[in-house]
Structure 1
Amino acid sequence: MTDVLPLTTEPESGLQYRLRPAAGRPATRLLLLHGVGGNETNLLNIANAIDPRIEIAFVRGPLTFGPDQYAWFPVRFGPNGPEIDAARADASRVQLITLLRAFRAQDGAGSALPAVIAGFSQGGIMSASVGLTSPDDVTAFAVLCGRILPEIDPLIAPRDALRSLHALIVHGRFDDKLPVAWADTADAKLTALGVAHDTRLYEAGHELTQEMAADFGRWVDARAGLN
């Protein structure tokens, strides 16, 4: 599939992505973000669960960790939980917002596509960071086996601006990388912020099972008004 989807660099954000064009006029644009140490091809199979009328951009993290291994920010798992490079995480957040706006500018005035952002693990973390701080740029976000960074609290948009958002939290009950308590924390935070959301827990670890992918696909289709 990577031969069919060439790697493109967006000059303003500096981010690279592979685009699955929509069949016909796109209903929505979906940005999919991989986890730490992965790359944009990790989530290609999810496209099978997404309505073909939705355009999908599989975005590569800006940090290189090794051959075909990328990330959105450095993280270390210590005895007190994940310790992140908050400055680098924020820089990636800004890059993603810039990418979303560049896409919208390409669409042209009056024809900009609504956008959904979602990701696995660290990609889910970035999706929440973008959605909660820049709700004018997305209609929805999904955190797939990830968490919401407390570091973004000072940047979260006003409650009124968050009313138009919808969010999805997907997590495995047996996740040994980011324990399921992070899903509970995210659920409580979104409730406190007044963000409409669904939280779904699965008999799974730190992974995206077929059941998770299918449920996520139905959620995306619903955001685009396709089911």
Structure 2
Amino acid sequence: MPSKLNQLIQNDTLPLLHRLRPAQGGTKNSPCLILLHGVGANEAGLMDIAARQDPDLTVILARGPLSFGPNQFGWFQVSFTANGPVINPAQAEQARRTLLDFIAALPAAHGIDPDRIWLAGFSQGGIMSASVGLTEPKAIRGFGLWSGRILPEIAALMADPDALKMQHAFVSHGVHDSKLPIALGRNSHSLLSAHKVQTVYREYPADHEFTPAMQADFTAWLAAQMKHADSDANA
């Protein structure tokens, strides 16, 4: 089945524009990885990462709902201040709900397996992945938080402890991150550990970026996730 990564898809049953790389055997009942871009970027910037994923995966690149300029999109407005990032919480919550609707509609729209969906993203995309994974852990199998943070605004919405113990997370952060300092990555790790989320946490000698080393570690984590999911399905 040919890749559709060069094609922007608009589907009336899905609330977000997106690109799709089908699994090698087609999308019917395939596992799925959804990738989310950072603020001021767009989904096309993740095409190379999508192309390198396991051929058994359907990979979907979702576009943020807010436009900040030509080919610049995001999930919520944010200002970087001396006291740290300040977000528009209403937009972040609307984006979280939109992503949940998007995920719920994917199996019918693209034929993927609803029990084998992972969500990951860079910076603001990673923030949204964590927001979904921690508030509605049954919606996805696990999430990747790349150079992002966990919003304190979701604290009251987080799932119960028993549900969170079943969730999986991969967290990567650059020690020299000049946009979202390493302290935010370490805070995320501490919060996930406190809630007993099954987490792989990695630090790298990097700035605010998703380096080849980070990509390799995430790919290995996801491969293990897929293997466990297949074992569960065959049990």
Which residues in structure 2 correspond to 1:200-215 (within 5 Å)?
200-215=202-217
For residues 101-133 of structure 1, give each alpha carbon's deviation from its aligned partner in whole angstroms, at most 9, with x where no partner exists.
00133467x953510000000000000000001
Q: Which amino acid aligns with 1:214?
A: A
Name the CA shift for 1:179/1:47 in 2 (closer, same or farther; >3 Å).
same
| Contact kept in structure 2, 1:62 and 1:70, CA below 8 Å | yes
What pairs with 1:13-32 in structure 2 (closer than 5 Å)?
A: 13-24=14-25, 27-32=30-35
Structure-2-length-normalised TM-score: 0.90
Preserved CA contact (<8 Å) 1:132 1:162: yes
CA separation of 1:148 and 1:7: change in aligned 2, threshold 3 A: same
Flag structure 2 segments of 5+ consecutive residues without an equivalent.
231-235
Shift of 1:216: 1.2
Structure 1 residue aligned with 2:74: 71
Bigger CA drift: 42-51 or 208-217? 42-51
Report the AA paired with residue 18 of structure 1: R
Q: Name the % identity.
A: 44
Determine the C-alpha separation between the residues in 1 that align with 2:45 and 2:182: 22
The count of aligned residue pairs is: 226
Q: Encode CA deviations 1:48-76: one digit per residue, 9 max, x unaligned.
A: 44211111000000000010000000000
SS of the residue corresponding to residue 23 of structure 1 reads coil
**1:218 paired to 2:220:** yes
8 Å contact from structure 2 (residues 37, 43) kept in 1? yes
6-15 vs 124-133, which moves further: 6-15
**Secondary structure of the residue that 2:219 maps to in structure 1?**
helix
* 1:189-218: CA deviation from partner (whole Å, max 9, x where unpaired): 001111010110001000111111111111
Secondary structure of 1:141's counterpart equals strand
TM-score, normalised to structure 1, is 0.93
Counterpart of 1:191 in structure 2 is 193
1:125 maps to what in 2?
127
The corresponding residue for 1:142 is 144
The question of whether the paired residues in 2 share the 8 Å contact of 1:13 and 1:96 is answered with no
Q: Which residue does the alignment assign to 2:42? A: 39
Shift of the alpha carbon at 1:219? 1.3
